[in-house]
Amino acid sequence: MKKIELNVNGKVHSVEIDEDMRLVDVLRDKLGLLGAKEGCGEGECGACTVIMDGETVASCLVMAFQAEGKEILTIEGLGDENNLHPIQKAFLDEGAVQCGFCIPGMVLSAKALLDKNPSPNRNEIREAISGNLCRCTGYNKIVNAVEKAAKDLQGGK
């Protein structure tokens, strides 16, 4: 066992880990943050996406010790049902949420995109979410939601 400190959602957590623990396991099993889900365990599906130091990462591919000293944002740190982030609200408004399994990763991928590019076109949005697989939708409502969120974040322009 090794003790590390992780900055997750603006709060520093001291956790004991096995050296072979992945970030997704620490988030879920040690910190109780269940938004990042393990889908494939190979970094292909995006269900475990989090933002680490401003970049999206597949938390199933990041060893927990590699995340020490980094700023990690999970869906739980973005907003909650009483105080939705504009991206979360746009996903609901546009009917982009179906089963919900992929949505935390999709929302975080959208946030990372909009933080860097506040006015993306549809192709840029599709590229940004290309690492997130959804089995329920044809992605159009998700792309619409990201477009809406971009406008909402810019004050409706």
Which tokens hold the place of 34? 């269940």
Is the pLDDT at 157 greater than 70? The verdict is no
Task: Give mean pLDDT, residues 15-42.
Answer: 97
CATH number of 86-153: 1.10.150.120
Which residue matches tokens 């997130």? 132
- The fold of 2-76 is Ubiquitin-like (UB roll) (3.10.20)
**Average confidence (pLDDT) over 72-99:** 95
Q: Rounded mean pLDDT of 83-87? A: 96
Mean pLDDT of the chain: 96
d(CA 97, CA 90): 10
Q: What residue ranges do the domains of the chain occupy?
A: 2-76, 86-153
The answer, yes or no, to whether residue 3 has pLDDT greater than 70, is: yes
Per-residue pLDDT tens for 94-106? 999 999 999 999 9
pLDDT at 133 over 90: yes
Over residues 118-130, the mean pLDDT reads 97
Q: Please give the distance of CA 23 from its chain centroid, rounded to a whole number.
A: 13
Cβ contacts of 26-34, under 8 Å, gap ≥ 24: 26/64, 26/67, 27/59, 27/72, 27/74, 31/6, 33/8, 33/9, 33/74, 33/76
